[in-house]
C-alpha cells in the first residue's frame, strides 16, 4: 500500500508538471500571435493615415486651382449621330368661334400692325407650329434655330442665334435673330403662353411679339439676389421700327431684371425696360373723310417703357399638385416725328406726336394635378394724339378715323388640361371690346403637342 501511494503521488506530480509546461507553451504562442496582429494593424493604420494626408493635400490644391471651363455636351466620335443637334417639334391648332368678322379687326386708336394683331380666322385652324434645332457648337458657343410654320403654309425664321457659354464674370453675348429681352412675356414662345393669344398691349405696340436681328449683352450680378442687366441693338426693322437703308443700328433696348425667393414656397421677379426705335415711312391703310382708302405714313422716333412683374407660389416649391402664378406689365409709348396723309395722292405732311399706354394683369391657378384655370384683363389708352395737318386746319380729324381716341378693353378666361408634360388641351372665352364698334365674343379650343427634346421654360 505504501509503495502504491508513493507511485501514485509521483504520477500525479508528473502530470501537473507536464500540464504546466503545456500551458506555458500555449501562452507563448498566444502572445506571439497578439504581437503579430498588433504589428499588422500598426502598419495598416500608418498606411491609412498617409493616404488621408495625400487626399487632404489634393483637396487643398483643387480649391486653390482656377475653376475648370464650363462643361459642354460631348460629341461621340465615329458614330452616325455625332453631329446631330437636339430637335423638337411643337404642333398647335385651334377652333375659333367669333361673333365679329376677324377680317375687319383693328385695335381702336392705334396704328395698325401686321399679322400678329387680332384673333385669327374662324373655324378650324392650323396654329403656329415650331421646329427647333439646338446644340452646343463647341466649348464656347451654343446655337439655336426655331422655324415657325404658319397656317397659310409659309415658313419663317422665328429665332436663329448663337450664345456664348464660356465668358467669365457673369457676361453672356447673344447674336443673330432673337426675341428682344424687354418686358416679361416677349421672350416666351407661343406654345408656352398661358393664353392662346398675346396681351392686347403687345399686339398694339409690337405687332404681337418683338424680335431683333442684332446682338445682345447680358450681365448677371454676383449676388445672392437675382439681378440681371442687359442691352441690345440691331437693324430695328420690326414694328414699331422699320428697315432703314443705311449702315449701323436702328436704336436699341436696355433692361434690368431682379428677383428673389420670399420663402421656400414663393418667389418673384420684376423688370424695367426701355426701347428706342426709328421709323422711316412706316405706312398703314386708313380711309379719308369721304370713306375712300388712303395710305398714310409715319417717320420719326418711337420710345417705349415697360414695367413687368411676376409672382409664383407652390407649396414648398412643388407645383405638381397646386400652384399660382400672377403676372402683369405696363407699357407707355411716345412717338414723335411727321405724319404724311395720302402718300399716293395729296401727300400732305405735318408734325405728329402721340403718347399711348396699356397694361394687362393675369393669374393662373393650378387647382389640381394637370388642371389649370386663368383670368386676364387687358386695357389700353390711345391717349392724346397731335396731328399737325389737323391742328393747322388743313384737314379734319375725320380723315384719320383709325387714330381717334379710344380705350380698348378685353376680358379673358381659360381652362387647360395637360395630359402629360408633352400635351395640352385648352378652352378659352373672351369678351373683346378692342374695336371702335361692337363686342367680339370669342370661343377658342386649342391643342398643343410637343415632340422631341425640349428645354425648360422661362421663370
Domain ranges of the chain: 97-122+161-452
Helix (H) or strand (E) segment spanning residue 411: strand 409-420
For 293-408, strand residue ranges (E) read: 293-313, 323-341, 348-368, 371-381, 385-387
Backbone phi and psi for residue 151, each to the nearest 5 degrees, phi listed first? -65, -20
457: its cell numbers: 421654360
Q: How far apart (Å, rounded) are the C-alpha atoms in residues 124 and 115?
A: 18
Q: How far apart are CA 109 and CA 288, in angstroms?
A: 15
Can you spell out the DSSP letters for 133-158? EEEE-SSSEEEEEEEEE-TTS-EEEE
| % pLDDT > 90, the chain | 68
Place of cell 377680317: 103
160: left (phi over 0), alpha (psi -120 to 50) or beta: beta
pLDDT tens digits along 71-103 = 444 444 434 445 578 899 999 999 999 999 998
Q: Which pLDDT does position 74 carry in this prediction?
A: 44
Q: What is the mean pLDDT of residues 217-236?
A: 96
Among residues 413, 434, 416, 412, the alpha carbon closest in space to that of 425 is found at: 416
3-state SS assignment for residue 15 = helix
Q: What is the mean pLDDT of residues 241-260?
A: 91
Return d(Cα 401, Cα 104) in angstroms, integer: 14
Q: Which DSSP category does 399 fall into?
A: G
414-458 residue pLDDT tens: 999 999 889 999 999 999 999 988 899 999 999 999 998 777 677
Q: Just give the CATH number of 97-122+161-452.
A: 2.40.160
Among candidate residues 376, 378, 384, 380, the one with its CA nearest the CA of residue 412: 376
Given a contact cutoff of 8 angstroms between Cβ atoms, the answer to whether 427 and 415 are in contact is: yes
pLDDT at 153 over 50: yes
pLDDT band at 203 (very low <50, low <70, confident <90, very high): very high
Q: What percent of the chain has pLDDT over 70?
A: 89
Helix (H, G, I), strand (E, B) or coil at 456: coil
Give the pLDDT mean for 124-134: 91
- Distance CA(268)–CA(324), nearest Å, equals 12
Q: Is the distance from CB of 298 to CB of 331 less than 8 angstroms?
A: no
Q: How many helices (H) and strands (E) does the chain have?
A: 3, 18
* Burial of 123 from C-beta contacts in 10 A (0-12 / 13-18 / 19+): exposed
- Given a contact cutoff of 8 angstroms between Cβ atoms, the answer to whether 432 and 410 are in contact is yes
Q: What is the mean pLDDT of the chain?
A: 88
**pLDDT confidence tier of residue 195, bands split at 50, 70 and 90:** very high
Per-residue pLDDT reduced to its tens digit, 158-187:
999 999 999 999 999 999 999 999 999 999
Q: How many C-beta atoms lie closer than 10 Å to residue 221's C-beta?
A: 13
The whole-number pLDDT of residue 20 equals 54
- For the segment 3-58, what is each residue's pLDDT rounded down to a tens digit? 455 555 555 565 555 555 655 666 777 777 777 777 777 777 877 778 888 787 77
For the record, the C-alpha cell of 68 comes out as: 475648370
- Position 43 scores a pLDDT of 78
Nearest one of 216, 326, 220 to 275, comparing CA atoms: 216
Query: Bridge partners of 253?
Result: 232, 275
User: Of 80 and 364, which is predicted with more confidence?
Assistant: 364
What does the alpha-carbon distance between residue 259 and residue 338 come to, in Å, rounded to a whole number?
A: 40
- CA Rg value for the chain: 37
Average confidence (pLDDT) over 298-321: 95
Q: What are phi and psi of 37, to 5 degrees?
A: -65, -40
pLDDT at 227 over 80: yes
Q: Which single residue is written with the C-alpha cell 395720302?
A: 342
The yes-or-no verdict on residue 261 having pLDDT over 70 is yes
**What is the Cα 25 distance to its own chain's centre?**
84
Amino acid at each position: 500500500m505504501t509503495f502504491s501511494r508513493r507511485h501514485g503521488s509521483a504520477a500525479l506530480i508528473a502530470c501537473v508538471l507536464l500540464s504546466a509546461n503545456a500551458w506555458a507553451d500555449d501562452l507563448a504562442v498566444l502572445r506571439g500571435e497578439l504581437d503579430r496582429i498588433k504589428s499588422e494593424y500598426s502598419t495598416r493604420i500608418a498606411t491609412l493615415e498617409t493616404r488621408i494626408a495625400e487626399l487632404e493635400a489634393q483637396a487643398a490644391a483643387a480649391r486653390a486651382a482656377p475653376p475648370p471651363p464650363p462643361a459642354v455636351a460631348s460629341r461621340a466620335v465615329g458614330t452616325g449621330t455625332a453631329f446631330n443637334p437636339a430637335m423638337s417639334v411643337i404642333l398647335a391648332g385651334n377652333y375659333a368661334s367669333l361673333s365679329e368678322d376677324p377680317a375687319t379687326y383693328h385695335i381702336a386708336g392705334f396704328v395698325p400692325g401686321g399679322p400678329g394683331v387680332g384673333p385669327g380666322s374662324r373655324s378650324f385652324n392650323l396654329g403656329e407650329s415650331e421646329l427647333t434645332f439646338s446644340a452646343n457648337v463647341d466649348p464656347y458657343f451654343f446655337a439655336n434655330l426655331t422655324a415657325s410654320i404658319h397656317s397659310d403654309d409659309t415658313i419663317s425664321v422665328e429665332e436663329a442665334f448663337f450664345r456664348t457659354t464660356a465668358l467669365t464674370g457673369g457676361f453672356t453675348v447673344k447674336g443673330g435673330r432673337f426675341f428682344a429681352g424687354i418686358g416679361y412675356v416677349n421672350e416666351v414662345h407661343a406654345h408656352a403662353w398661358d393664353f392662346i393669344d398675346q396681351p392686347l398691349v403687345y399686339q398694339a405696340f409690337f405687332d404681337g411679339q418683338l424680335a431683333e436681328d442684332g446682338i445682345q449683352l447680358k450681365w448677371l450680378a454676383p449676388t445672392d439676389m437675382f439681378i440681371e442687366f442687359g442691352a441690345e441693338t440691331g437693324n430695328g426693322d420690326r414694328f414699331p421700327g422699320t428697315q432703314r437703308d443705311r449702315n449701323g443700328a436702328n436704336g436699341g433696348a436696355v433692361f434690368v431684371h431682379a428677383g428673389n425667393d420670399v420663402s421656400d414656397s414663393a418667389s418673384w421677379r420684376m423688370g424695367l425696360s426701355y426701347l428706342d426705335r426709328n421709323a422711316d415711312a412706316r405706312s398703314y391703310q386708313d380711309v379719308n373723310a369721304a370713306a375712300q382708302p388712303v395710305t398714310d405714313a409715319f417717320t420719326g422716333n418711337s420710345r417705349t417703357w415697360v414695367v413687368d412683374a411676376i409672382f409664383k407660389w407652390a407649396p414648398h416649391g412643388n407645383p405638381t399638385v397646386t400652384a399660382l402664378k400672377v403676372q402683369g406689365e405696363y407699357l407707355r409709348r411716345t412717338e414723335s416725328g411727321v405724319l404724311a396723309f395720302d402718300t399716293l395722292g395729296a401727300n400732305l405732311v405735318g408734325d405728329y406726336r402721340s403718347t399711348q399706354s396699356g397694361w394687362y394683369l393675369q393669374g393662373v391657378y393650378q387647382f389640381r394635378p394637370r388642371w389649370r384655370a386663368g383670368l386676364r384683363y387687358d386695357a389700353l389708352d390711345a391717349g392724346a394724339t397731335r396731328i399737325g395737318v389737323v391742328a393747322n386746319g388743313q384737314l379734319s380729324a375725320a380723315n384719320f378715323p383709325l387714330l381717334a381716341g379710344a380705350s380698348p378693353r378685353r376680358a379673358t378666361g381659360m381652362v387647360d388640361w395637360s395630359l402629360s408634360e408633352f400635351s395640352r388641351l385648352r378652352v378659352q372665352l373672351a369678351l373683346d371690346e378692342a374695336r371702335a364698334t361692337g363686342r367680339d365674343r370669342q370661343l377658342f379650343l386649342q391643342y398643343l403637342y410637343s415632340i422631341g427634346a425640349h428645354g425648360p421654360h422661362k421663370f
